[in-house]
Structure 1
Amino acid sequence: MKFPYTIKLYMMIVENTKPRRGRLHMDYALFIVIGALTSFVGTLAGGGGLIGMPVLLLTGVPVHQAIAAAKFSNMISSFSSFFVLLGEGKIGWKQTAFIVPISLGGGITGGLLASSLPEKTMTAIAIALLTFALSLQFFRKKMTQQRSAVFSKKLYAPLYGISVYDGMFGPGQATLLMYTYLSTGLDYLSAIAFTRFQTFISCFGAFATYLYAGHVNWHIAPFLGLGSVIGAQVSVRLAQKLKQEHLSLILNIVTFLLIIQLVFKMIG
């Protein structure tokens, strides 16, 4: 008497798993596309996370898993784009040595503090910093662009603070780094190189904390990472073909759009 019910239950399980498998493959493709688009925008001007994070959350990914996957993908893509610029001679290993302890410590600190500040507070901080950075672009005197710059110790505090911010969540983190490095007189491609390297280190530190806490979903992170590498490689090569004026315009436009999106997010 129980045998037919067992068969019926088995058939129900088989039928229900078919669409899930198909949907899973669609999700993998979606994660690759999200990663590529996020990394493409993020490499050129920062702010890619404000594209990828909302989409991940809309697909039903829990917030801590979404942040962990974003840190994993950003860690891989930022190093891949940095490696291209390293090969092009836009930056050297010795120049990046001072960044490692600052960004690693900041990323770990931010990851550990991820749940201590409300999201609205984080958003308000982002709006204030991005608005300040954008205003500096319009009011500061035009600086002579150069491949190398002397980084004073006064720069260490803001770089550490941005890495902490990145480890916690970090909407617009790369954009803030871009403005910080450009303010020293670096040319745009060198600023991208420093930004991508620091993002790699801070994301590595933050990802380690999320991995330890068990928030990493390995059905999402690798595919998001694959897409992010594709987007980073395309954008970093495009950046080398664009003029300084065009790149600065992209940065300003993206920053303005980020501020608007964050304001609506905070109000909502």
Structure 2
Amino acid sequence: MEFEFYYYVIFVVTGFVAGFIDAIAGGGGIITIPVLMASGMPPHVALATNKLQATFGSGMAAFNFIRKGFIKWSEVAKGVLYTFVGAALGTYAILLMDPNMLAKAIPVMLVAIFIYTLLSPKMGESDRHAYLGQHLFFFIFGLAIGFYDGFLGPGTGTFWTIAMVGLLGLNLKKATAQTKVMNFTSNIVSLAVFLWSGNVLFAIGFLMGFGQVIGAYFGSNMVIKKEVKFIRLFFLTMVALTLMKLIYSSYIA
């Protein structure tokens, strides 16, 4: 596909903004996918190209968290395995199915997440008791959220973070760091399936990926430096924006 020059500038800037936001609170897909769709790309091409650029952002954020000592492989290995399987199945499914029905269910889940987080002011400030064992947690959520990220995507980071805080008992910083590892896993697996399907626009994906790397670097550093209250505010803001976008796309547009 051919684009006007200004579109390429928009793609890079969009990648930067999405990478920055996604590294802090998730939700970068609510920015990138509408921009890709607005450029005239068919839906499957937009989703496939989005996975290429998102892989750069989640990869940089995960690398930065690992480098700063926020990730222990023993704590995320099972999650990576189950997310790998879920993402592969979800991406293959979207090549065969219409995702509209699932899209209508997502806003309902996000409303519940937003209300729970809003009414829990101490949520994520410190580690607390886990309600599920690590293996069972990653078996359930690795498969489910991995499948969702491969199938649709927006809000994946939000789902991971709230699940890790609410059920694994992690503080918000640690949950955000582990979320990026899971995001990177599902992104790269989903990308591999899309590459096999031939739907990826490489030039656009790499341009946006360049912006993603820079944005994710600054965003992940902000998570490391800032207090949990700031991350929580950013998190709530992105949940609200994701919710509004999905409600508009699924029920109004």
Q: TM-score, normalised by structure 1?
A: 0.84
CA root-mean-square deviation: 2.2
1:47 aligns with 2:27: yes
The number of aligned residues is 247
The answer to whether the 8 A contact 2:82-2:138 is kept is: no
Q: 1:200 to 1:257 in 2, by over 3 A?
A: same
- Deviations along 1:161-210, one digit per CA (max 9) or x if unpaired, are 11101001211111111111111221222111111110111111111111
Deviation at 1:142, TM superposition (A): 4.2
1:104 aligns with 2:88: no
Measured in 2, the distance between the counterparts of 1:51 and 1:215 equals 20
Correspondence for 1:151: 134
Q: TM-score, normalised by structure 2?
A: 0.89
Deviation at 1:61, TM superposition (A): 2.0
User: What amino acid is the match of 2:49?
Assistant: A
The answer to whether the 8 A contact 1:107-1:206 is kept is: yes
1:220 aligns with 2:204: yes
Aligned equivalent of 1:239, options 220, 223, 243: 223
Measured in 2, the distance between the counterparts of 1:81 and 1:145 equals 22
1:259 aligns with 2:239: no
Measured in 2, the distance between the counterparts of 1:129 and 1:117 equals 21
Which sections of structure 1, spanning at least 5 residues, go unmatched? Answer: 1-19
Bigger radius of gyration, 1 or 2? 1
- SS, match of residue 98 in structure 1: helix
Deviation at 1:139, TM superposition (A): 4.6
- Deviations along 1:85-107, one digit per CA (max 9) or x if unpaired, are 11111112222211222111111
- Deviations along 1:89-131, one digit per CA (max 9) or x if unpaired, are 1112222211222111111101100144434312222112212
The answer to whether the 8 A contact 1:130-1:255 is kept is: yes
The answer to whether the 8 A contact 1:69-1:224 is kept is: no
- Deviations along 1:118-157, one digit per CA (max 9) or x if unpaired, are 3431222211221222232245594661399762514421
Correspondence for 2:107: 127
Percent of paired sites with the same residue: 26
